[in-house]
Structure 1
Amino acid sequence: MKAIVFDRHGGPTVLQLTEVAVPEPGRGQVRIRVRAAGVNPIDGKLRAGGGWPIELPSTPGVEGAGVVDAVGPDTDGFAVGDEVLGHTATGSYAQFALSDRVVPKPAGLSWDVAAAVPVAAETALRVLRLLDLSPGETLLVHGASGSVGSLAGQLARRRGVTVVGTAGAAGRDRLGRLGVTAIAYGDGLVDRVRSVAPHGVDAVFDAAGRGALPDSIALRGGPERIVTIADPNAAEYGVLFTGGSEVMVEPAAIAEVAKQVAAGDLTVPIAARYQLADAAEAQRLSDTGHAGGKIVLTVD
């Protein structure tokens, strides 16, 4: 099969399209004929030698959508031919990938949007559970125009929470259409937030990681109920950094988000689409941190 592989750490140029063996599903796994793969910041960090230790050569990608092609032993609920989306156990930048964490793809949901759902949904749901928001409270989201921040804002609003979101100029109009009060990030942020939320903010979700924690603490009056997924200096401020182990998000919850996206009740912004062979360009955009939405690889 064709797959993107890197055999050394470095910049996007280490990514190469090559032929590798088709993986065989193990116990509890399905093999997916990948139709689209999501590109996430962690893909670039692992490629560059950050994140956690990995074996080389390696294929990037932690999420995708496609058609079940084979089913391993003791795997219940899925059959060959089922359309699915989910997290992958082997790299999703490939024609085939293995997974033990898939959910059905709703009819009518395009492959590119389906591939953009798993990580964004899991992360947004996890952070919102950690923040434990109640109706009537106000949530500040840094990086609100990205796939995770945007979805978190929408989910919070559906729970009766007022959402203030920081974004660049290109994303603020879209956030406004989603019912989020959009403001610019950068110098003067504290005053801008207080002008639109004069009674203060009850919780903060940092999905940007661009030095927003000091301002967040000033707005909250302390580090409580501030969660970041993007600032590695969180511990220095007494802020919770979440990487995925603090709260388990059930597959059924991700499946429900996928259904709502298919129905048009929620949206996951797609910033760019690339062919599999152009994975280096996709990661180059992702590495900037300014994509403004999800980047997706189309796999023929």
Structure 2
Amino acid sequence: MRTSTSRAVQFAESFGGPGNLVLREVPVPEAGPGQVRVRVTAAGLNPMDWFMTSDDATAARFGLSLPGGFGNDYAGVVDEVGDGVGDLFKVGDRVFGSAFSRSVADYVVVDAPGHLGKGGDVHRTPDGLDDRTAAVLSIAGSTAAAALAVVKPGPTDTLLIGAAGGGVGVFAVQLARLAGARVVGTGSATSADALRALGAEPVVYGEGLADRLPDGITAAMDLHGAETIAAARELGVPDSRMTTIATVVEGIEPANGANAEPGAIEEIARLAAEGQLRVPIAARFPVDQIRAAVELQSARHVHGKVVIDL
């Protein structure tokens, strides 16, 4: 007999840090017309999860209200299909995607196929890709694809990626290498081995970055702030070959995962399933340890993705 309640991680009384997160019993949501309900098996964490919910004012800017959910990336199995979905999805399909600030829950309801920038989306999980890996693809993979679409790296390029060891950088480095580019990635001294494993040449970030970079940088992506852009400008990289994802810099076209080209995330999932793209999972936590998971992820020292098991 199906239960009428399920678990969801929420901010019950106020937004804020991980100490404000609680695991609550909530009604099981129902799929409406054009929607599917997914029984979530794993949810992936991203910096935007805790940034959007860091305080009440920030949450309000993103249209969030209490009680508010948490997390964006998920993977699982379709267990209910609403009217009008047709042949797009059926009960039992393995799927992954994004559910805006509500993915860390037993169930999510999303439009089918939906849109990452409009509340959530859903995609078929390819054979050969496990749920934990699928659960970390949507936000970071789409953002990396959108950033690469701005700078368009190729075999004649040396691409500088700032914060290359972060969640988006893991994808950006490998996708740029698959496109034939040489990649130089900035990070902490302790991230050097992880960056080399991805295919990047590591350089320590910080003051004097331009002096530590090799000759021949032709394009740049800053995945954290603006330091990488400033260094690339010192080296003469044109603004048209640079992008940011977290900071607005005058003259630089920003990238947003919601604007990734159609089919980009499906291609990333295919590459991961075929072993052409490595997705490092740094840590896994059961859902009742959500606070510890967010504390680890938000410290920004983890090399790889953090996954919540449901």
- Partners of 1:189 and 1:181 lie apart in 2 by 14
Work out whether 1:132 is the aligned partner of 2:152. Answer: yes
Identity of aligned residues (%): 39
- Partners of 2:243 and 2:26 lie apart in 1 by 39
Structure 2 stretches of 5 or more lacking a match? 1-5, 112-120
Q: What TM-score do you get using the length of structure 2 for normalisation?
A: 0.87
Q: Quote the residue 1:168 is aligned against.
A: 188
- Partners of 1:68 and 1:288 lie apart in 2 by 33
Deviations 1:129-149 (A, max 9, x none): 111233311110011112311
Measured on the aligned residues, the alpha-carbon RMSD in Å equals 1.9
Alignment of 1:255-294 (within 5 A): 255-294=266-305
**Offset of 1:184 from its aligned partner?**
1.2
Closer, same or farther: CA 262–244 of 1 in aligned 2, 3 Å:
closer
Q: What TM-score do you get using the length of structure 1 for normalisation?
A: 0.90
Alignment of 1:10-89 (within 5 A): 10-49=16-55, 50=58, 52-75=62-85, 76-89=87-100
- Partners of 2:23 and 2:223 lie apart in 1 by 31
Closer, same or farther: CA 26–202 of 1 in aligned 2, 3 Å:
farther
Q: Quote the residue 2:209 is aligned against.
A: 189
Q: Quote the residue 2:261 is aligned against.
A: 249
**Offset of 1:153 from its aligned partner?**
1.2
Asked if the contact 1:147–1:268 (Cα under 8 Å) also holds between the matched residues in 2, the reply is: no
Closer, same or farther: CA 240–288 of 1 in aligned 2, 3 Å:
farther
Asked if the contact 1:86–1:118 (Cα under 8 Å) also holds between the matched residues in 2, the reply is: yes
Deviations 1:129-173 (A, max 9, x none): 111233311110011112311211111111111111112233321
- Partners of 1:85 and 1:42 lie apart in 2 by 18
Q: Quote the residue 1:154 is aligned against.
A: 174
Q: Quote the residue 2:115 is aligned against.
A: none
Work out whether 1:4 is the aligned partner of 2:9. Answer: yes
Which amino acid in the other structure matches residue 9 of structure 2?
I
SS, match of residue 281 in structure 1: helix
Alignment of 1:198-213 (within 5 A): 198-199=215-216, 201-209=217-225, 211-213=227-229
Work out whether 1:179 is the aligned partner of 2:199. Answer: yes
Greater CA deviation, 178-187 or 7-16? 178-187
- Partners of 2:110 and 2:101 lie apart in 1 by 7
Higher strand proportion, which one? 2
Which amino acid in the other structure matches residue 277 of structure 1?
D
- Partners of 2:101 and 2:110 lie apart in 1 by 7
- Partners of 2:166 and 2:177 lie apart in 1 by 16
Work out whether 1:240 is the aligned partner of 2:246. Answer: no
Closer, same or farther: CA 19–72 of 1 in aligned 2, 3 Å:
same
- Partners of 2:128 and 2:186 lie apart in 1 by 31
Asked if the contact 2:219–2:237 (Cα under 8 Å) also holds between the matched residues in 1, the reply is: no
SS, match of residue 79 in structure 2: strand
Greater CA deviation, 170-179 or 94-103? 170-179
Structure 1 stretches of 5 or more lacking a match? none
